[in-house]
A and B are shown apart, each in its own frame.
Chain A
Amino acid sequence: MIEVHGLSKHYGDRVAVDDLTFTIKPGTVTGFLGPNGAGKSTTMRLILGLDRPTGGTATVNGKRYRDLAAPLHEVGALLEARAVHTGRSGYNHLLALAQTHGIPRSRVGEVIELVGLESVARKRVGGFSLGMGQRLGVAAALLGDPATVVLDEPANGLDPEGIRWIRNLLKGLAAEGRTVFLSSHLMSEMEQTADHLIVIGRGRLIADTDVASFVARASSGAPVRVRSPQLPALADAVKSAGGSSESLEDGALQVFALTSEQIGEIAAAQQLVLHELTPMQVSLEDAFMDITKESVEYQHADTSPTDVAMPISASITGAEQ
């Protein structure tokens, strides 16, 4: 259980995290989403006691991370930035971490096997590939067999094989009933693994919802795809019913502002034949883009005109530096 209440972090004038409140329930996989620079990493660092909050609290199982007697047993974390001395071997890195808690050497061997690093564990980390480094990070996170795992952009920079490995790992962790808190700036991975989503933009909470309602929220007003041998007549009927439409390249019609039910009824009333009637579901990716875009525009409403004129992506990535 991770509880974040009124959490804020300012770096000088820059507000990285702004009054965030959310709860990660035990036994769920929660996706933490937001564009680059939205404050995801900072929020995770605040939860893990690496950064001091400017305001508010972040607790793990009811305690601040700094007050945990055995933190590695409660939360395992994989940070986005590397956190390993390059001159040490993977085995010795894990051993040194294990010794702070009195975790036995046998467990070090276990996690090395778990992430498939047996062949390189005695080599210096400096020579590791990105994928191997990520596996070592996961081994460190699982060292204390924690019930909660926090992962910051675990798929970043990995090749397809590495991404598949991370995906299977997440499924495995979830299947074991662990609480997983996973950040990403991409939606595609979340679609398959997350139960719940926390979306932030510019350090503020945008959505705290389950995946289905997140998609539904963005899908309201989504178009309906229609195929019919009597398309021109159907297009006229749609128009007179208050909808609009446009022809697609494959000969189908895309109808806006009407539900599939309404279109079906219109077609029946006009005795038009339908070959297809498909409500278009917005993908999680589109829903995410849509909702974060809204938030950024809202944010701009209360800033100066020069800010509004600045391209959105530039202002967000600029803030991260």
Chain B
Amino acid sequence: MSATTAPPLPARSDHSHERVTLPRVIRSEWTKLWTLRSTRWSLLLAFIAQAGLGPLIALIEMARWSHLTFQDRITINPIDHSLGGWHLAQLAIAILGVMTITGEYHTGMIRSSMMAAPKRLPVLWAKLLVFSVVVFVLMLIAAFIGFLGGQAIFTQHHVNVALSAPHALRTIFGAALFTTATGALCIALGTIVRRTAGGIALFVGVFFVLPGLVEILPSTTANAINPYLPSNAGGAIAQALAQPNTFSAWGGFALFCGYTVAVIAIAAGLLLRRDA
């Protein structure tokens, strides 16, 4: 079958309109996200944590009301106590964020992804966008459930606040925003290290180990560094009660978003340059 005797190509349908576009890569990433069992479990766990942990804490506090000291009673913070679930939700979302990309490297799927969308960056943008939108919507709903559920329980001893209370709405949106931005950061970390264990270790190192290390520094040094730690900068927006040595809620979150964008930029550069 040399070139001269080759039969004509089979009648192929017209594919001229079928080309790679960002909206199509986004659709593909949407399918990829929802067709893995691990994704659905992680999202469910994060949702339950964000929606359920606050009301659970409220239940315990109300049940133990008669044992609480006066000091305990007046320091009950109905906003933060009903929204505290983000600490656990964030961990689940961070791990899932790392795995959305490292799972592809681990299984070799990344090669199929890169061959289908060889410009590569659309794959990263689509992953970030799909994941961020899904996480933000779910976490926002969960935060409202946590807040409203918590307040309903706090009414028992009249320590509840309304949605219109100072910082209430900002903290609800803040919890969802911080978790979402953390997820995006972790996708970028996963893209950089390409290994699940390494990506999770990096997240844990920055969010949980680093603050501990700063704590053992002399207090003036620690106080100077503390506001800049990603966990402190980003956490401010998810807490009604301002912590000492932190930036303002929105200022801190802006800094955290800056860190996230910087890490995403590094990830994008490496994704383009490296062999898949």
Contact = CB atoms under 8 A, between A and B. Distances in A.
A71 interface: yes
Interface stretch (A170-178, A245-253, A301-309): A170-178
Contacts of A97: 28, 112, 116
20 contacts: A27-B3, A48-B115, A66-B120, A69-B20, A73-B18, A81-B111, A82-B108, A84-B107, A84-B108, A85-B32, A87-B107, A88-B35, A92-B31, A97-B116, A99-B28, A100-B117, A145-B15, A174-B1, A176-B10, A178-B9
A100 B118 contact: no
Interface string A196-229: 0000000000000010000000000000000000
Interface residues of A, number: 51
Interface in A81-139: 81-89, 92-93, 95-97, 99-103
Interface string A59-83: 0000001101111110001010111
Contacts of A100: 20, 24-25, 28, 116-117
Interface stretch (A49-57, A234-242, A274-282): A49-57
Given A48-B115, A140-B112, A101 B19 contact: yes
A209 B113 CA distance: 34
A189 B103 CA distance: 35
B273 to A, nearest CB: 7
Contacts of A85: 32, 36, 103-104, 107, 109
Interface residues of B, number: 45
B197 interface: no
Contacts of A25: 3
Interface of B: 1-3, 6-10, 12-13, 15, 17-21, 24-25, 27-29, 31-32, 35-38, 103-104, 107-112, 114-120, 273, 275-276
A51 B10 contact: no
B163 to A, nearest CB: 40
Given A92-B31, A102-B24, A177-B9, A70 B107 contact: no
Label chain B's interface by main secondary structure.
loop
Contacts of B7: 27, 175-177
Label chain A's interface by main secondary structure.
loop
A150 to B, nearest CB: 10
Contact of B10 (A28, A88, A96, A177): A177
A260 B79 CA distance: 99
A26 interface: yes
A20 interface: no
Contact of A86 (B107, B112, B114): B107
Residue among B2, B8, B35, B276 facing the most chain A CB atoms (10 A cut-off): B35
Nearest to A75: B115
Given A26-B3, A82-B108, A89 B28 contact: no
A101 B112 CA distance: 13
Given A48-B115, A87-B36, A88-B35, A101 B20 contact: yes
A108 to B, nearest CB: 11
A11 B261 CA distance: 31
A72 B111 contact: no
A87 B3 contact: no
A261 interface: no
A92 B24 contact: no
Interface string A255-269: 000000000000000
A81 B115 CA distance: 14
Contacts of B120: 66
B110 to A, nearest CB: 8
A104 B243 CA distance: 53
B116 A145 contact: no
A31 interface: no
A191 interface: no
A70 B115 CA distance: 10
A147 interface: yes
Given A51-B275, A93-B109, A195-B1, 11 more contacts: A50-B114, A69-B19, A70-B19, A85-B36, A96-B31, A102-B19, A140-B112, A144-B15, A147-B12, A177-B7, A210-B2
Given A84-B112, A101-B116, A96 B28 contact: yes
A7 interface: no
B5 to A, nearest CB: 9
Given A85-B104, A102-B17, A28 B3 contact: yes
B1 A87 contact: no
Interface string A21-51: 0000111110000000000000001001111
